[in-house]
Structure 1
Amino acid sequence: MTSLDKEFAGKVVLVTGAGSGIGRAVALLMHARGASVIAEDKSPTVEELACPGLVPLVADITLDGAAEQAVGKAIEHFGRLDILVNNAGIILNKLLVDMTREDWEQVQQVNVTAAFLHAREAAKVMIPQRSSAIVNIASYAAYQAFPTIAAYAASKGALVQLTRALALEVIEHGIRVNAVGSGDVVTNILNDVVEDGPSALADHGQTTPIKRAAQADEIAEVVAFLASERASYLVGSVVMADGGMSVMAG
């Protein structure tokens, strides 16, 4: 047994977008390390995760009341909420001149507004506990851009600034808020954009200094670190886990 095996024993975690990819990896990793987990996702596939100490919740995070329902489920099942991981996200590859208002707003609703709503409701129950953590999944696209990702880049830039501002508001209550600046990860996020999303991400990962995309488990490890007491001095930080993409020359 290593010192990490029960790192989250007694902790209750809420993970959005837990049906696949990074969110699923985070939910499983934290559960394996002792946490009780609420795994929230719009897709019914999240129900496959159900087991003692891991409760799935099928919900659309963009709808009014979804955040309240998710936090309420944590309280109902486990009596508290210690860690929130705002992972759910979507991407749109479309030139700005071809983008509809609906396109734009959908990306912002999932990537930013839902994170705001979940963080707001989580903070309400975390403040009296005096020791909690919120981790947001951002992207190197918060700082870098290329054609067709205007909506996504704007949403991740907003999520970074939400992270930093909220971190200053709640640190006096013992809540640490940080983010992961994720790079290309082999997930299904591009499946609605290209025929084979995981392969496209794997190919794009070849352009990074490390010459590959990440696996979801690798990002989950960074999330677990930020959520743990091992990161006790990190407040409003964005930890770049992008294979060196963010340090490349433009």
Structure 2
Amino acid sequence: MTLKEVNEVEGKVAIVTGAASGIGKATVELLHARGARVIAEDINSDVEKLAADGIVPLVADISKDGSAEQAVGLALEQSVLLVNNAARIVYKPVVDMTREDWNYVMETNVTGAFLHSREAAKVMMKQRRGSIVNIASYASYFAFPTIAADTSSKGALAQLTRTMALELAEHGVRVNAIGSGDVVTNLLNEFMEDGPGFLREHGKGAPIGRAAEPSEIAEIVAFLASDRASFIVGSVVMADGGYSVQIK
């Protein structure tokens, strides 16, 4: 059996937030292909296009009370894998940033992940098994001008990962994160005409010389969520093409 044929999540139920496009969509498709039943959650109604046998779309705002409970309820309290992927970003210097701008990012990137992790963990602790994978960023460690809310949120997400990993390890639940670099997604489309093109170009600054495709990050999600990663606990696995280890 080759690695591509490994059904590492077969028979499990996964919740993936931010599932309508990019890393979230790629993760839904990969986990489903490898045997998982997937709750695909997104505020964008385009997520409904993913509906299929074994994929249940959920249109919801992850930052709002009740959305996490609804997602976990759809999982029917079966063996839950949670992928906190949904994210927002604002491009403004701190002196120009409003409280609304700050909250816009924090409520999705941190609060939404907290709410979903809390509800999923309640089920996982009862079952004494489960895995949470948070999509963090190289911005969890490194600052970039004009995206203070994003870098702060990703730093917070890394710390949420570590803290929950310590709280849940004794209950058989693993929590990890992925420090993704530039990935060709639609994240920046609200701020520029060609967000994927910008990310593709910016990715050339990494030692590997390119940005990642969403499917490459999805592969890491599948591994971290599986029993093959059974000894990885509280880690932020860097997947940034070497960006974080270079000095320029």
- TM class, shorter-chain normalised? over 0.9
Partner of 1:67 in structure 2? 68
| Post-superposition offset of 1:81 | 3.8
- Between the aligned partners of 2:127 and 2:216, the Cα distance in structure 1 is 30
Deviations 1:35-77 (A, max 9, x none): 00000001111111111111000111111111111111111xx
Task: State whether residues 71 and 81 of structure 1, in contact with CA within 8 Å, keep that contact through their aligned partners in structure 2.
Answer: no
Task: State whether residues 9 and 222 of structure 2, in contact with CA within 8 Å, keep that contact through their aligned partners in structure 1.
Answer: no
Task: State whether residues 79 and 129 of structure 2, in contact with CA within 8 Å, keep that contact through their aligned partners in structure 1.
Answer: no
| Post-superposition offset of 1:231 | 0.6
| Post-superposition offset of 1:6 | 2.3
AA aligned opposite 2:55: L
Partner of 1:107 in structure 2? 105
Partner of 1:162 in structure 2? 160
Deviations 1:104-152 (A, max 9, x none): 0110000000000000000011111111100000000011112101110
AA aligned opposite 1:154: S
AA aligned opposite 1:17: G
Partner of 1:125 in structure 2? 123
**Structure 1 residue matching 2:75: 3-state secondary structure:** helix
- Between the aligned partners of 1:200 and 1:222, the Cα distance in structure 2 is 23
AA aligned opposite 2:66: G
Deviations 1:7-41 (A, max 9, x none): 21110000000000000000100000000000000
Partner of 2:23 in structure 1? 22
**Structure 2 residue matching 1:113: 3-state secondary structure:** helix
Partner of 1:48 in structure 2? 49
Task: State whether residues 5 and 34 of structure 1, in contact with CA within 8 Å, keep that contact through their aligned partners in structure 2.
Answer: no
Partner of 1:116 in structure 2? 114
Partner of 1:201 in structure 2? 199
For the aligned residues, what is the CA RMSD? 1.0
Partner of 1:180 in structure 2? 178
AA aligned opposite 1:40: E
- Between the aligned partners of 2:157 and 2:71, the Cα distance in structure 1 is 20
Aligned length: 247
- Between the aligned partners of 1:81 and 1:131, the Cα distance in structure 2 is 7
| Post-superposition offset of 1:213 | 0.4
Task: State whether residues 14 and 81 of structure 1, in contact with CA within 8 Å, keep that contact through their aligned partners in structure 2.
Answer: no
Partner of 1:230 in structure 2? 228
> Please, which of 80, 83, 105 is the counterpart of residue 82 of structure 1?
80
**Structure 1 residue matching 2:136: 3-state secondary structure:** strand
Structure 2 residue 148 is the aligned partner of structure 1 residue 135: no
- Between the aligned partners of 1:32 and 1:57, the Cα distance in structure 2 is 19
Partner of 1:216 in structure 2? 214
For normalisation by structure 1, the TM-score amounts to 0.97
- Between the aligned partners of 1:116 and 1:223, the Cα distance in structure 2 is 18
Runs of 4+ in 1 over 3 A off after TM superposition: 1-5
Unaligned runs of 5+ in 2: none
- Between the aligned partners of 1:136 and 1:101, the Cα distance in structure 2 is 25
AA aligned opposite 2:28: A
AA aligned opposite 1:165: T
